Amino acid sequence: MAGCAMNKAICLLSAVVLATLSACSGQGSSGDQPPLAGARIGAPFTLTDQDGRKTSWDSFKGQYRLVYFGYTYCPDICPVDLQKIAQAFIRFEKQDPVRAAKVQPIFITVDPERDTVPVVKNYVRAFHPRLIGLTGTAEDIGKVARDFAVIASKEGAGKDYLVAHSRTPYLFGPDGAPIALIPVGEGPDGTADAILKTLDTWVK
């Protein structure tokens, strides 16, 4: 369970943070109100995409944003999560290509030390042609993680260190406001089904 479960304290804190966000924003409420309506998740940023271009949060203005935080050296969790995200997104593209075109999937590294532009480019293209990968300086990534309620901690020493981190994908609306959390770890097909259901519910 590299990436999160290696550090139980971080995982527990992450769960508390996400539960608090859900409770404060009406997670599970009925009606047309998004589960994360009013939650303080997200903020303006400028990072670098996999092609070396400066990319800001406002670069995606007018688009829904499916955002996942992880790192390319993650041995098992991140690639499985991203594969499920890609599978769900492909299914959504086939189901409703018009609405799918309004959604931008985004991967943001929590390991900028190793996740350089070329590394991120090679990584994201393995999952989906529309997946954008973002990296930046340690300072920039640290601020983005805090602003997006993501917890990350370096584990171990040397070049083979791991990064314990929270890993729940977020869906944001065209205005950049958070819409919903998408649970992971629900079995082989659970995450893809949950992502597809969330997209089908909230992408208009």
Q: Where are the beta strands (DSSP E) in 95-169?
A: 103-109, 132-135, 152-155, 162-165
Q: Tell me how many degrees the CA angle 92-74-2 measures, rounded to the nearest 5.
A: 105
- Class of domain 8-27+35-202 (CATH, top level): alpha beta
H helix or E strand, kind and range, residue 13: helix 8-25
- Model's pTM, two decimal places? 0.86
Asked whether the predicted pLDDT for residue 37 surpasses 80, the reply is yes
Q: For residue 63, is pLDDT > 60?
A: yes
Rg of the chain on CA atoms, in Å: 16
In this predicted structure, what is the pLDDT of residue 167?
Answer: 84
Give the annotated binding-site residues for Cu cation.
74, 78, 165
Sequence spans of domains, the chain: 8-27+35-202
pLDDT on residue 189: 63
Dist. CA 136–CA 48, nearest whole Å? 6
Secondary structure class of 144 (helix, strand, coil): helix
pLDDT digits (tens, 9 = 90+) for 145-175: 999 999 999 999 888 999 999 888 999 999 9
Known binding residues are: 74, 78, 165
